[in-house]
């Protein structure tokens, strides 16, 4: 991927904003974790001290500073450490509570990949203080690599759990659709239950099993083929755009929002192609308006 330096700055700004707004659980309610139910990062480090609001305020400042340095490319291998601690710490604590939050998990994985890439780039090029463009490129590619691999993993898990019969079971997805919409209603019961999503649409899907297989089956194909996000700017935009549409459809049908995934697809896959398109158009426009004899108009 031949991103320009300016594009990579924009991608880092986007990634930093996503991590700050969707990657950290800033308002974790205090709780006492059960030592036998600790999850992931919380099994390696004791993290309950993070539940103190004053500690969280310090972490918030350090996270903002860390993300600022990451955008500017200043010692990212060190400046991303407090960001990693905050993202992985709050996420692992929340998972230990039983509240699995997959949206922030995608951002956390991308952050881990970025950090590892900066360490590797530092060792390789011996430039720690100011990361060179090649290090930024490696870091952003690493983020896309783990992100695309997570889609492939999701597809593999579907095939493994259903013993290869996932698509034939798809008509039952209508039940999950009712469940997701009712769960959302009972989380904050206001007004009436959305009957279109809990009655009309699920009944339509069960009455048209072939259509539902095509609809949800295409999602599985997109997941298993997600490695193409790494091939080129064009493939990233096409496949990323299709995955983005899939997430928006899930959000509409099931009322489940994966803002982390949506944001990563927009920032890492679709945005670079849009920038290139805009740059190409502006070059074409200037070529049309510039008179070669009199210079730029």
Report the site for another protein in 115-154 (rule: CB under 8 A): 145-146, 148-154
Q: Which of 54, 126, 129, 187 binds another protein (CB under 8 A)?
A: 187
Burial 189-214 (b: 16+ CB within 10 A, else e): eeeeeeeebbeebbeebeeeeeebbe
In sequence order, the β-bridge partners of residue 74 are 130
User: Are 267 and 14 a contacting pair, CB within 8 Å?
Assistant: yes
Smallest separation, CB 178 to another protein (Å): 5
Smallest separation, CB 111 to another protein (Å): 7
Instruction: Name which of 115, 111, 134 is nearest 124 in CA terms.
Output: 134
Distance of CA 235 to the CA centre of its chain: 18
In sequence order, the β-bridge partners of residue 295 are 291
Residue 45 found at the interface with another protein (CB under 8 A): no
Map the footprint of another protein across residues 240-279, applying CB under 8 A.
none
Smallest separation, CB 208 to another protein (Å): 11
Site string for another protein, 80-99 (x = CB under 8 A): -------xx--xx-xx-xxx
User: In this complex, which beta carbon is closest to another protein, that of residue 135 or of residue 205?
Assistant: 205
- Give whole-number Cα distances, 259 to 21, 27, 105, 235, 263, in Å: 10, 17, 11, 22, 6
Map the footprint of another protein across residues 272-291, applying CB under 8 A.
none
Q: Which of 105, 122, 143, 247 binds another protein (CB under 8 A)?
A: 105
Burial 227-246 (b: 16+ CB within 10 A, else e): eebbeebebbbbbbbbbbeb
Interface with another protein: number of residues (CB under 8 A): 72
Sign for the CA dihedral angle at 157, 160, 165, 169 comes to negative
Map the footprint of another protein across residues 209-228, applying CB under 8 A.
226-228
Smallest separation, CB 287 to another protein (Å): 25
The residue length of the chain stands at 297
User: In this complex, which beta carbon is closest to another protein, that of residue 9 or of residue 81?
Assistant: 81
Residue 1 found at the interface with another protein (CB under 8 A): no
User: In this complex, which beta carbon is closest to another protein, that of residue 227 or of residue 259?
Assistant: 227
Name the DSSP class of 75. Answer: S
Q: Which of 85, 117, 143, 173 binds another protein (CB under 8 A)?
A: 173
Smallest separation, CB 54 to another protein (Å): 18
Distance of CA 147 to the CA centre of its chain: 7
User: Is 257 strand, coil or helix?
Assistant: coil
Q: Which of 73, 171, 240, 263 binds another protein (CB under 8 A)?
A: 171
């Amino acid at each position: 991927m031949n991103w320009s330096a300016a594009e990579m700055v924009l991608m880092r700004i986007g990634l930093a904003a996503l991590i700050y707004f969707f990657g950290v659980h800033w308002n974790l309610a205090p709780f006492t974790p059960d030592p036998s139910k600790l999850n992931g990062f919380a099994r390696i480090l004791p993290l309950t001290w993070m539940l103190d609001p004053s500690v969280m305020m310090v972490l918030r400042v350090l996270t903002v500073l860390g993300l600022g340095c990451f955008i500017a490319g200043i010692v990212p291998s060190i400046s991303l450490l407090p960001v990693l601690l905050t993202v992985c710490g709050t996420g692992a604590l929340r998972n230990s509570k039983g509240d699995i939050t997959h949206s922030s998990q995608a951002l956390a994985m991308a952050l881990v990949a970025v950090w590892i890439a900066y360490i590797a780039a530092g060792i390789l090029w011996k430039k720690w203080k100011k990361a060179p463009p090649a290090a930024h490129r490696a870091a952003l590619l690493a983020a896309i690599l783990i992100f695309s691999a997570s889609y492939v993993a999701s597809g593999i898990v579907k095939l493994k759990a259903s013993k290869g019969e996932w698509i034939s079971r798809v008509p039952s997805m209508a039940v999950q659709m009712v469940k997701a919409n009712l769960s959302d209603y009972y989380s904050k019961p206001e007004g009436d239950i959305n009957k279109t999503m809990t009655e009309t649409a699920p009944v339509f899907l069960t009455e048209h099993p072939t259509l539902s297989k095509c609809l949800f089956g295409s999602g599985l194909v997109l997941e298993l083929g997600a490695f193409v996000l790494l091939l080129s700017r064009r493939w990233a935009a096409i496949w990323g755009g299709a995955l983005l549409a899939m997430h928006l459809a899930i959000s509409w049908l099931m009322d489940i929002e994966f803002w982390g995934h949506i944001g990563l697809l927009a920032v890492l896959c679709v945005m670079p192609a849009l920038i290139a398109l805009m740059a190409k158009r502006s070059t074409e426009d200037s070529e049309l308006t510039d008179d070669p004899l009199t210079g730029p108009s």
